[in-house]
Amino acid sequence: MKNSARMVIAAAVLSTPALAQTGDLARGERDFRACAPCHSLEPDRNMSGPSLAGLWGRTAGRLPSFDRFSEALKASGIIWDDRSLDAWMTDPDRMVPDNEMPFNGIKDDRVRAGLLAYLKEATKPGAQPPQTAGGPMGGMMGGGGRVPDLKAVEPSMQVQAITHCRDTYRVTTSDGKTRAFWERNLRLKTDSSKDGPRSGAPALVSAGMMGDRADVIFAAPAEISKAIEGRC
201 — pLDDT class (breaks 50, 70, 90): very high
pLDDT digits (tens, 9 = 90+) for 12-65: 444 444 444 556 889 999 999 999 989 999 998 898 899 999 999 999 999 999
pLDDT of 135 over the 50 cut: no
Percent of the chain clearing pLDDT 70 (strictly above): 81
**pLDDT recorded at residue 139:** 38
Pairing of strands 168-173, 178-182: antiparallel
State the average pLDDT for the chain: 85
CA quadruple 129, 135, 139, 143: dihedral, nearest 10: -100
Which residue ranges form the domains of the chain, and what is each CATH number?
A: 3-134 (1.10.760.10), 155-230 (no CATH)
For residue 181, list its beta bridge partners.
169
With beta carbons less than 8 A apart as the criterion, state whether 191 and 219 touch: yes
pLDDT of 172 over the 80 cut: yes
Furthest CA-CA distance within the chain? 64
pTM of the model: 0.67
128 — pLDDT class (breaks 50, 70, 90): confident
* Pairwise CA distance, residues 146 & 93, whole Å: 29
Number of residues that this document lists for the chain: 232
